[in-house]
Amino acid sequence: MKTKSLLEIKESTITIEVGRLQLIAELFIPDNVQSIIVFVDRSGCSREHICNYHLAQVLGKKGLATILIDLLTPEEEAIDLRSKHCSANIRHLAERLIAVTDWLTQNPITHNLQIGYLGDGTGGGAALVAATERPLTVKAVVVRSGLIDLVSEVLDDVQAPTLLIVGGYDLPAIAMNEDTLTQISTQHKRLKIVPQASHHFAQPDAWQKAAQLTSQWFQHYLPIGIRFDS
């Protein structure tokens, strides 16, 4: 059978209204998709990082839709460049993420898709908080180098299958994630340590391994559409 190309993954820039705010997102939807992954970046602006686009393509090849959402407005981004006040506010990011999640469940294009979260840094903490607020909606969570010690009070309420990924060189994060794993209530939880990887997985091999672990977790816990690599 002829392998489909990534060009057949439909990409579009969309605007999501959250109250009076308008959040910008990039939506990638393969054919016959059944699930969608929401990217929650540490900066609050998932569209800024090229690695997120690469990972969206990796997940797209596995039959998963993705949405790269800027949870901060341009005005908040400008403030954040000076103070990091907005991106460091996990509750603020979580509230935006919950609103985006509700939008996905109501939008005609995405309302029938199962939802997973991919969180990075403070975005990982926000993903776990939002997952506890929408336990029937969020079906799987992956947290990469997450600042999850800041949301310890919600860990006992996490029901979604949760994968924690940390770099082997990131010793403080390893200890924190090991402690976090014992507090998360779901039985479907794992901690994966990527050897010779830094906090940001800057090494090419490390990034690829983290992407593989992420893809495998979502494929296991979410229904997928047509795989483009087979």
pLDDT at res. 228: 60
Q: How many residues does the chain have?
A: 230
Kindly state the average pLDDT of the residues 117-146.
Answer: 94
Average pLDDT of the chain to the nearest whole number: 87
DSSP-H helix ranges across 138-170:
none
Question: How far is Cα 90 from Cα 62, in angstroms, rounded to an integer?
Answer: 30
What CATH number has the domain spanning 8-221?
Answer: 3.40.50.1820
Residue 136 confidence class, pLDDT cut points 50, 70, 90: very high
Q: Cα torsion for 227, 11, 48, 220, to the nearest 10°? A: -20
- pLDDT tens-place string over residues 194-220: 999 988 888 879 989 999 999 999 999
Neighbours of 75 (CB within 10 A): 10
Burial (0-12, 13-18, 19+ Cβ within 10 Å), 201: buried
**162-167 vs 65-69, strand pairing mode:** unpaired
Give me the helix-helix angle, 204-221 and 50-61, nearest 10°: 40
Kindly state the average pLDDT of the residues 71-93.
Answer: 78
Kindly state the average pLDDT of the residues 46-75.
Answer: 85
Question: How far is Cα 128 from Cα 124, in angstroms, rounded to an integer?
Answer: 6
pLDDT at res. 204: 77
Tokens of 54: 């690469």
pLDDT at 185 over 50: yes
Provide the residue ranges of all domains of the chain, joining segments of one domain with +. 8-221
pLDDT at res. 167: 94
Tokens of 90: 């996990």
Residue 224 confidence class, pLDDT cut points 50, 70, 90: confident
pLDDT at res. 89: 84
Residue 7 confidence class, pLDDT cut points 50, 70, 90: very low
Question: How far is Cα 213 from Cα 191, in angstroms, rounded to an integer?
Answer: 11
Residue 18 confidence class, pLDDT cut points 50, 70, 90: confident
**21-29 vs 162-167, strand pairing mode:** unpaired
Kindly state the average pLDDT of the residues 66-74.
Answer: 88
Kindly state the average pLDDT of the residues 65-86.
Answer: 80
pLDDT at res. 5: 42
Q: Which residues contact 76 (CB under 8 A, 6 or more apart)?
A: 44, 86
Kindly state the average pLDDT of the residues 84-102.
Answer: 86
Kindly state the average pLDDT of the residues 65-81.
Answer: 84
